[in-house]
Structure 1
């Protein structure tokens, strides 16, 4: 964001000098200022590109996290079903043991 602010300040300074008709601005000063504005424009474009890439990576990470959560939920469901089956089997064994003891 600092490059954006610097670019705006450079453009504003250039506009003020030109609007005031300041004759003390030499061509070399104008060219130097123009080069700085061009560099700031390139820096801003580069920063935007990096931000876009970071946003895409973040989005992809979010999708992968959602997929991992879905897999974890499926594993939890399978574990719960397995525990229910184990509990039912233990109950059957207990009933069979009680019946054999009753005889």
Structure 2
């Protein structure tokens, strides 16, 4: 069975179950609406928290990148200083 047939079968089965179960009362409908609103509020809160987490992660990444750049600069200076000291030592040995 292809996807289109499965979809048609699912819709038909769902329609049949709704028809056999009868109409929902207004109270039931209001309850479902309230649940839907609660779910939407939870989803919006989760989306907001995810945005805040993404912002914090981006900030942490920026701090880490700055720290890495500083460490690389310090390493380059260290190598440069080591080279200078080594040259000075070799010069002093020739005197």
TM-score, L = length of structure 1: 0.69
Quote how far apart the aligned CAs of 1:34 are: 1.3
Q: Aligned runs of 1:64-103 on 2, under 5 Å?
A: 64-103=56-95
Deviations 1:27-60 (Å, cap 9, x if unpaired)?
A: xxx7xx2111100000000000000000000011
Return the alpha-carbon distance in structure 2 between the equivalents of residues 46 and 96 of structure 1. Answer: 74
Larger Rg: 1
TM-score, L = length of structure 2: 0.75
Q: Which blocks of at least 5 consecutive residues in structure 1 are unaligned?
A: 1-8, 15-29
Return the alpha-carbon distance in structure 1 between the equivalents of residues 33 and 76 of structure 2. Answer: 64
Return the alpha-carbon distance in structure 1 between the equivalents of residues 84 and 54 of structure 2. Answer: 45
Partner residue of 1:39?
31
Return the alpha-carbon distance in structure 1 between the equivalents of residues 44 and 88 of structure 2. Answer: 66
Structure number with greater CO (CA < 8 Å, separation at least 6) is 1
The 4+ residue runs of structure 1 with deviation greater than 2 A are none
Q: Which blocks of at least 5 consecutive residues in structure 2 are unaligned?
A: 1-17
